[in-house]
């Protein structure tokens, strides 16, 4: 029998719910269910699989508010953000509901016959997701995996299992056959590890820390599993002197303090052309001081607590390195894992806060001399996930966008993720791409078939 897993509400530190904690036996059972469901799911016509995904969208829409509330309470995120994130999860299923009928192959000219390619599902895929955007990141993996004809075992983070568990129930309510979506809520060190090692699992799609990603890639190598990894980041927000500084400063806080900074795309390094550093810092401080930190269920709240006491301690450690504190906001006292939005700067290029992922509401501001220096500074990182470029010079913007080693870049914007465009990292931010028209490629194999006409 699984033991109990207490789920904590980060804004109150109280127990929000208690659910069974899965272990390796539950993973094995989930994989067996997924294996049992695979032949029939794979054999469905593309239009029938599409119909299932459309039915799922309808049920998720009916439960949009319920899921948003669950996510807001369990992950400590502002209710407005949670609504938007569940909206994106639903949009992801809607987008990939068209995919089963677009799993196209090629015909290839060869001698003596006809050659063509088809896409085959991988089989059972293991989806390991983090606590920062629990259901949204799960949807990025589930939707293309299901569309391509795979069955799935989803492992949410132990801290935030509630939306995934509810999703599993709603998938059944929507009529998805038993075993197509399985949810195992248990620790990474047992459940996640077993999923990675299980010989019947064909692929692991993972989002989380670079350190765990490394161990997953090594573990998956034993059974030559396919792996996609979406890992950490230290993204640069590059502000040139000729930019609309007001607009850049107004949008910068959202790009690093959104989700209380617990975002792999967080632009946690703001690189500012030295000639406008003082002016930009003043504007930034004005906007950061306006952030409303508090109860996630208050519709006016813009920033909630951190996910856990451990995360808060890890974030707070960055304040002990002696970097200049340009601004420290305020946060509620008392119960809850609160942390005030903080600007450090100008910081040295070798400062820990300039190099390591903080995953909390601390931003480091660094000056640069010119375009070449900005690119060198942006690329001076083991990561390469996201980033922004602010300038009124279009040619410079495109030169810098091509030169920065990141998977996703925005010009005069701080957005990173769109359902219709590929998302993923360079360097130690991972490999593989999620979202966009080609994500189903990562959940299918190409098969070449040759038909002799002689």
Q: Which residues are catalytic?
A: 230, 264
Q: Contact, 263 vs 132, CB < 8 A? A: yes
Beta carbon of residue 311, minimum distance to ligand NDP (angstroms, whole number): 6
Nearest in space to 123 (alpha carbons), one of 194, 51, 202, 176: 202
Q: Which residues pair with 227 in a beta bridge?
A: 204
Q: Contact, 168 vs 152, CB < 8 A? A: no
Distance set, CA 322 to CA 281, 285, 342, 352 (Å): 19, 20, 14, 10
Q: What is the dihedral of CA 7, 10, 13, 15, to 10 degrees?
A: -20
Beta carbon of residue 366, minimum distance to ligand NDP (angstroms, whole number): 20
Beta carbon of residue 365, minimum distance to ligand NDP (angstroms, whole number): 20
Q: Contact, 213 vs 132, CB < 8 A? A: no
Beta carbon of residue 141, minimum distance to ligand NDP (angstroms, whole number): 12
Beta carbon of residue 314, minimum distance to ligand NDP (angstroms, whole number): 6
DSSP assigned state of 423: B
Q: Which residues pair with 18 in a beta bridge?
A: 6
**Contacting residues toward ligand NDP, per CB under 6 A:** 128-132, 155, 157-158, 187-189, 192-193, 196, 207-209, 212, 215-216, 230-232, 264, 314, 357, 359
Q: Can you read off the two tokens belonging to residue 78? A: 């502002």
Q: Can you read off the two tokens belonging to residue 93? A: 């299923």
Beta carbon of residue 168, minimum distance to ligand NDP (angstroms, whole number): 15
CA 131, 133, 135, 136 torsion-angle sign: negative
Nearer to ligand NDP, 41 or 131 (CB): 131
Nearer to ligand NDP, 100 or 407 (CB): 407
Nearer to ligand NDP, 71 or 295 (CB): 71
Nearer to ligand NDP, 131 or 390 (CB): 131
Nearer to ligand NDP, 222 or 448 (CB): 222
Q: What is the dihedral of CA 78, 79, 82, 86, to 10 degrees?
A: 180
Q: Contact, 212 vs 406, CB < 8 A? A: no
Q: Contact, 296 vs 339, CB < 8 A? A: no
Nearer to ligand NDP, 220 or 239 (CB): 220
């Amino acid at each position: 029998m699984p033991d109990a897993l207490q789920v904590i509400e980060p804004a109150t530190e109280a127990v929000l719910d208690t659910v069974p904690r899965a272990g390796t036996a539950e993973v094995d059972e989930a994989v067996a269910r997924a294996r049992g469901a695979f032949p029939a799911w794979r054999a469905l016509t593309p239009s029938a699989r599409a119909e299932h995904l459309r039915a799922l969208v309808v049920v998720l829409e009916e439960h949009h508010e319920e899921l948003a509330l669950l996510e807001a309470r369990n992950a400590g995120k502002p209710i407005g953000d949670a609504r938007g994130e569940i909206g994106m999860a639903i949009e992801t299923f809607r987008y990939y509901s068209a995919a089963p009928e677009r799993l196209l192959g090629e015909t290839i000219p060869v001698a003596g016959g006809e050659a063509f390619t088809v896409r085959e599902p991988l089989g059972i895929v293991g989806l390991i997701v983090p606590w920062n955007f629990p259901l949204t990141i799960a949807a990025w993996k589930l939707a293309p995996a299901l569309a391509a004809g795979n069955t799935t075992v989803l492992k949410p983070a132990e801290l935030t299992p509630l939306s995934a568990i509810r999703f599993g129930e709603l998938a059944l309510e929507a009529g998805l056959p038993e075993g197509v979506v399985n949810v195992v809520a248990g620790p990474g060190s047992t459940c996640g590890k077993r999923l990675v090692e299980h010989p019947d699992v064909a692929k692991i799609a993972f989002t989380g820390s670079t350190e765990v990603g490394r161990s997953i890639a090594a573990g998956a190598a034993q059974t030559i599993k396919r792996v996609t990894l979406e890992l950490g980041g230290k993204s640069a927000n590059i502000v040139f002197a000729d930019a609309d500084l007001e607009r850049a400063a107004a949008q910068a806080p959202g790009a690093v303090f959104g989700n209380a900074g617990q975002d792999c795309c967080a632009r946690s390094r703001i690189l500012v052309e030295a000639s406008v550093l003082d002016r930009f810092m003043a504007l930034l401080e004005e906007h950061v001081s306006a952030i409303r930190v508090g109860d996630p269920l208050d519709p006016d709240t813009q920033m909630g607590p951190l996910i856990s006491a451990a995360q808060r301690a890890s974030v707070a450690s960055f304040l002990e390195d002696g970097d200049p504190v340009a601004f420290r906001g305020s946060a509620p006292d008392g119960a809850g894992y609160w942390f005030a939005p903080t600007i450090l700067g100008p910081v040295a290029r070798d400062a820990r806060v300039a190099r390591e992922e903080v995953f909390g509401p601390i931003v480091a501001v660094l000056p640069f001399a010119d375009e070449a220096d900005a690119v060198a500074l942006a690329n001076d990182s083991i990561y390469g996930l996201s980033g922004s470029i602010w300038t009124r010079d279009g040619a410079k913007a495109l030169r810098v966008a091509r030169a920065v080693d990141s998977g996703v870049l925005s010009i005069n914007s701080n957005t990173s993720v769109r359902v219709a465009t590929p998302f993923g990292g360079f360097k130690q931010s991972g490999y593989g791409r999620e979202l966009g028209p080609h994500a189903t490629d990562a959940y299918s194999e190409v098969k070449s078939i040759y038909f002799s006409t002689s």
